[in-house]
Amino acid sequence: MTTSTDEPRRAPGRTAPGARAVAAGAVGNFIEWYEFGVYAYFATVVAANFFTPQGGGAAEALVRTYATFALAFFFRPLGAFLLGRAGDRFGRRPVLIAAVVSMSGATALIGALPTYATAGAAAPWLLTALRIVQGLSAGGEFGGAVALMTECAPDGKRGRYGAWQSFTVALGLLGGAAAATLVTTVLSAAQVAAWGWRLPFLAALPMGALALLLRLGLAESPAYRRTAPDRAGGDGAPPAPRPPLRSTARAVVLGCGRLVAWSAAGYTFLVVLPSYLQNTVGASPARALLTTVIANLGFAAAILPAGALSDRVGRRPVLVTGAALSAVCALPLLHLVQQRSAPLWLTCGAVAVAGALVGLLAGPGPAMLAETFRTPVRTTGLGVAYALSNAVFSGCAGLLVTELIRRTGDPDVPAYYVVVTCALGTLALATLHRDDHRRPLRD
């Protein structure tokens, strides 16, 4: 009787909620990374409005802006732990609802903040507080969304289902770049600096409303229903036991190591690039924005094929190839970008390749993480691993690169950073099993 009652719940659950789970999970990721793209592009404007009191330098203000950027990342592990625990205890749906409400609300409020000229020293503190809220909510967003997507995926398709999370990261960054392009094209430089920069942040409000509607109608994943602590399936089976803390902690550390290359290369090539091109290379804002868009297009183009390929040949070959090639190609690609006299097509080709290499890592990455953890701790485990890796290797990327360039004067610092982190990431990814993509998710 156990089999007969349980199986009908599994079969439709693995197909019917799949498309809705992808849409509901993806829309929150879009908003999260849209904001990060907008914040990165307008970093110099934010610095001037919030971190440049009389007598302050532009370089110092930019470093402080990136410090606020990094601070949000360091609150992501806490958010991943708190919201992840709630997601494993009460379900993926309520956590995803809470995450999108707080994330989109904080983003919109950034667009309404008073600047240093109006509020004085309170302005940077208010901005920092909202960035912390974003960090907490984003920490829970990733774990809940990836757990939901992969748990609802049909057999043999976890790679492509999980890849949609990364694909909407690319769409979010592109959306942020598009919003920045629209604002900087329609408005004058003075208008952008005075109030135009606020508009892309305020746009998060209607986006959040749409995401909330999608998530309110969401059903729980079949894997969670089978293992929920308060399961009400009526088959008399006890809930799945939580794995030992030591085992989960070991999996989190291993997951962090496997994410190093994705975190570092992704933020260096896709997020830090606009400010680097303007402040270090001396590129115009228009050229910096164009190359950033091209990099993200290359990133987006590689994600879904990489996820699907990992369902066929395995996670390890695709991820190791992406990390190793990123380490080998980082310096030559950066040198091409640095040449202001180089043809635009050559520069765009270089950044497109850089973005595609990150896509090789981001496509199979979510499924790889989901396969690392058992269902009772999946939201917490993969969320904390992702958040810790991003806090250290992504959140610090802009701050570290900007400060080292300022101190050393060496424009190759971003490439050195990618080479070292991707070499370490390659070693960690080599520990993956060949057949992880064929095994069912562990309850």
Confidence at 42, pLDDT banded by 50, 70, 90 = confident
- pLDDT confidence of residue 61: 61
Task: With a cut of 60, say whether residue 1 has pLDDT above it.
Answer: no
- pLDDT confidence of residue 245: 83
Task: With a cut of 80, say whether residue 148 has pLDDT above it.
Answer: yes
Task: Please answer whether residues 299 and 401 qualify as being in contact, where contact means their C-beta atoms are separated by less than 8 angstroms.
Answer: no
Residues contacting 154, CB < 8 A, separation 6+: 14, 15, 18
Task: With a cut of 60, say whether residue 7 has pLDDT above it.
Answer: no
Question: What would the pLDDT profile of 20-30 be if each residue is shown by its tens digit?
Answer: 788 888 888 89
- pLDDT confidence of residue 240: 63
Enter the pTM of the model.
0.81
Percentage of the chain exceeding pLDDT 70: 88
- pLDDT confidence of residue 9: 40
Q: Could you tell me which residue, 396 or 330, shows the higher pLDDT? A: 330
Question: What would the pLDDT profile of 283-329 be if each residue is shown by its tens digit?
Answer: 777 777 788 888 889 999 999 999 999 999 999 999 999 999 999 99
- For residue 225, which amino acid is it? R
- pLDDT confidence of residue 355: 92
What tokens appear for 158 in the block?
Answer: 């976890």
What tokens appear for 187 in the block?
Answer: 């408005």
Q: Of 66-75, 241-250, 367-376, which range is least confident? A: 66-75
Confidence at 5, pLDDT banded by 50, 70, 90 = very low
Task: With a cut of 60, say whether residue 54 has pLDDT above it.
Answer: no
* Counts of helices then strands in the chain (DSSP H, E): 22, 0
Task: With a cut of 90, say whether residue 368 has pLDDT above it.
Answer: yes
Task: Please answer whether residues 231 and 239 qualify as being in contact, where contact means their C-beta atoms are separated by less than 8 angstroms.
Answer: yes
Task: With a cut of 70, say whether residue 348 has pLDDT above it.
Answer: yes
Residues contacting 253, CB < 8 A, separation 6+: none
Mean pLDDT of 368-382: 93
Confidence at 386, pLDDT banded by 50, 70, 90 = very high
Look-up of token digits 């400010």 = 275
Residue of 362, 360, 393 whose CA lies nearest to 267: 393
Q: Of 10-14, 274-278, 326-330, give the range with the top mean pLDDT.
A: 326-330
Dihedral of CA 129/74/96/39: which sign? positive
Mean pLDDT of 258-262: 94
Mean pLDDT of 63-72: 67
Question: What would the pLDDT profile of 389-437 be if each residue is shown by its tens digit?
Answer: 988 887 777 778 778 888 888 888 888 999 999 999 999 999 998 888 8
Task: With a cut of 70, say whether residue 372 has pLDDT above it.
Answer: yes
Q: Of 57-71, 99-113, 307-321, 332-346, give the range with the top mean pLDDT.
A: 307-321
- pLDDT confidence of residue 15: 38
Residues contacting 367, CB < 8 A, separation 6+: 150, 158, 159, 161, 162, 163, 307, 310, 311, 315, 437
- pLDDT confidence of residue 48: 79
Mean pLDDT of 77-92: 91
Q: Of 77-91, 239-253, 256-270, 355-369, give the range with the top mean pLDDT.
A: 355-369
What is the rounded average pLDDT for all residues in the chain?
A: 83
- pLDDT confidence of residue 66: 64
Mean pLDDT of 106-124: 87
What tokens appear for 374 in the block?
Answer: 């058992």
Spatial separation of the C-alpha atoms in residues 351 and 370, rounded to whole Å: 30
- pLDDT confidence of residue 232: 45
CATH 3.30.365.10 fits 12-223+245-429, yes or no: no
- pLDDT confidence of residue 19: 79
Question: What would the pLDDT profile of 160-187 be if each residue is shown by its tens digit?
Answer: 999 999 998 888 878 888 898 899 889 9
